[in-house]
Amino acid sequence: MSMKLNIDFETRSVIDLRKTGVYPYAQHPDTDIWCMAFAFGDEDVQLIPFIDHPQELWTSERERINAHIEEGGDVYAWNAQFERIIWNWILVPRYGYVQLPRAQTFDTAAQAAALALPRGLGQAAIALGLDVEKDDEGRRLMLQMAKPRKRDPLTWWNVEEKMKRLYDYCKQDVVVEREIGKLLPELSDFEREVYLLDQKANDRGVFIDVPLVEAATEMADVAKAEADIEMQAITDGEVRSVSKVADLGAWVRAQGVPMENARKDTIRDMLDGDLPEGPIRDALQLRQDAGKTSAAKLTAMKLARCLDDRVRGLLLYHGASTGRWAGKLLQPQNFPRPELDAESYIERVLARAYDAIAEPIMVVLSSMLRSMLRARPGKRFVAGDYSQIEARVLAWIAGQDDLVELFRSGGKIYETMAAFIFKMDVAHVAKDSFERQIGKNSVLGAGFQMGPDRFAEQVWEQTGIVLDRGTTGAWYCKTHDIFTDGPECGWTHDGFHDVYWDEEAQVTPDLAAQAISGYRKLYAKIPKFWGDINDAAIRAVQTPGSVRSCGRDGRIRYTMRGNILWCILPSGRKLAYCSPELRMRKLPAPYEHIEKLSLSFVGVDGFTRKWRRQHTYGGHLTENVVQAMARDLMADAMLRLEDAGYPIVLTVHDEVLTETLDGHGSVEEFEEIMITLPAWADGLPAAAEAWEGERYRK
């Protein structure tokens, strides 16, 4: 077996890599390579400078590198997609190197992410306790030299001292990534296939309807200008633009209306509340309509598109610790939900027929974002989305067989839940009723140990429904077993008033608590699973080397090896919890007087992206396992779809988007492929819904 080749590039360009992604960056004629650091095996790191250096001086190095690749040798890099594209799109045509195939490229950052380690090279080195360190000072220099010194005339940082320092930085990166690589296991054969498919999908990209994007951008500019004029008129010039949210908040408060801030959720609450008609409501509505994300997304589409009008590099393999994909650039995972039938407006937008659109323009454009992704002529999109996949996986792995059967048979899942919560007959739960909505939110949201407060918040976020949290505290007469209006009721017992204030009394029902309690009672094996999985993880830490099982047929297994707590999924893939510790912790209110043994680990914080110690519990461990299993189902289906002639171009949450030749396959075949289960998931009640069309849609 040939030695591994580790590489790292430093580049420069007039365009911003963070906004364009590597593909348009590498296509730009002004993008070039400062240097490449490389090392074969444990040999000393070497460096080849390119800009302002005659390449015949490094002929022997180039020939050795080319021979390594032609002989099928492996090439490793941190975030290797960048190195592979720079290599093939710049190094090959300009400097005489051979093509680097995807199959010979290995991503050390992907290996780190599979262990829930940071994707940043420096943070990963710290997390692993390496003696070698990322050169932070060199990083600042790299960021400076990646951009022009001046643009008119175009001038670069061709200063010998800076270039030498950049070369040292590049070489140190190879040292660090090579040392990290020695500590990381390779991806499994299955995960290696998934990674290569991810890279293939990123290389394909998605075609952008450029005329529609351009028309929408022009209309967005017009709408923004008109909204600014209207905002000035409403506020007598106090707020000059819809984007001046601080000024808007100050103006609202000056009108005598309390407003803590002008965030989206605050404005939404006020508009959904009892705010009367008038200038304040008009101004807030104007801000809400103008604040749609469409303008930023349109700019992202234009910056990220390649010369063939495709946007590439939208997916990040193993973007979450559970293995799920994350989005990049356009972030299609957070496209706003359409508020109207966007495709019916396309011709009017293309014609810039501003006056022919009665709806707020930004609402139309925001709803149209998905439609701007379209299939090439002669092809169509075929896409499929797993239905209620997390709730189905949870019911199956927890052994909640009555719910599994309800899913499998297509039964009235939400109605059954609603009937139990509200003590009514299933047949009386109407399709669009309040009760069914709460039943739906319970089934889809209460499975990870969510409490009533968070449940009420989630219901409001997703539906706009404000749940009555109930009222407590009342005067109570023990003699008559009845609540009274006050202590002076006139009733006595043995000559004394037998009335007292009961602060625990629930006078009106807490619907959030009622829903959570109903879910946990009806599907009691799921709360039991929360306890079982928490106990299994804790016992594995207490007894290193042992294997602790839980879930259906013991298919979830925990074991402590070295400094990592491993969770072995039914698929065989492992989730990693680094540096686990057990500590006694107080429970949250109102049980703060109780202490319980709690598991913590060090990982990447989902909000701050920092590497820090985090506490976990049964519901959170359950969420990790369920999301990871759902991801494994989708990854398995993606490989089968690709083999069946459905080329993957994108994944969005639990949806797979393919761009397929007209006449090939069908929606029915697509769905069948998606719900064909691997052996480890036998009996899981998977379901999928597919569609086909010219444009992407929700």
Backbone angles phi, psi at 105, to 5 degrees: -105, 130
Nearest alpha-carbon partner for 406 in 415, 398, 397:
415
Nearest alpha-carbon partner for 523 in 609, 641, 417, 664:
417
The widest CA-to-CA distance across the chain, in whole angstroms, is: 111
d(CA 593, CA 591): 5
d(CA 482, CA 336): 51
Question: What is residue 436's predicted lDDT score, i.e. its pLDDT?
Answer: 95
Question: What is residue 315's predicted lDDT score, i.e. its pLDDT?
Answer: 96
* Mean per-residue pLDDT pooled into runs of 10, the chain (698 residues): 89 96 97 97 96 92 96 97 98 96 97 93 89 77 93 91 94 94 95 98 97 94 88 91 88 88 82 85 86 79 96 95 93 88 93 89 91 96 96 97 96 95 93 93 94 88 79 62 57 52 63 92 96 96 96 97 95 96 81 84 86 93 97 97 97 96 96 96 96 95
CA 392 to chain CA centroid, nearest Å:
20
Question: What is residue 557's predicted lDDT score, i.e. its pLDDT?
Answer: 98
- The tokens for 190 are 């299955």
Burial class from Cβ neighbours inside 10 Å (0-12, 13-18, 19+) for residue 334 reads exposed
Which strands sit side by side in the sheet containing 471-477, from one edge to the other?
482-484, 471-477, 499-508
Within 322-451, residue ranges assigned H as helices are 346-350, 361-367, 389-397, 401-409, 413-422, 434-445
Decide if 685 contacts 392 (C-beta within 8 A).
Answer: yes
Question: What is residue 390's predicted lDDT score, i.e. its pLDDT?
Answer: 96
Q: How far is residue 232 from each of residues 124, 237, 411, 532, measured CA to CA in Å? A: 50, 4, 54, 60
* Residue 270 DSSP SS3: helix
Per-residue DSSP letters for 483-513? EESSS-S--EETTEE-EEEEEEEEEE--HHH
Question: What is residue 483's predicted lDDT score, i.e. its pLDDT?
Answer: 57
* Residue 654 DSSP SS3: coil
Entry pTM: 0.88
579 Rama class: left (phi>0) / alpha (psi -120 to 50) / beta: left
Q: Which amino acid is at 566?
A: W
Decide if 206 contacts 330 (C-beta within 8 A).
Answer: no
Question: What is residue 494's predicted lDDT score, i.e. its pLDDT?
Answer: 46
Question: Which distant-in-sequence residues (6+ apart) come within 8 Å of 256 by Cβ?
Answer: none
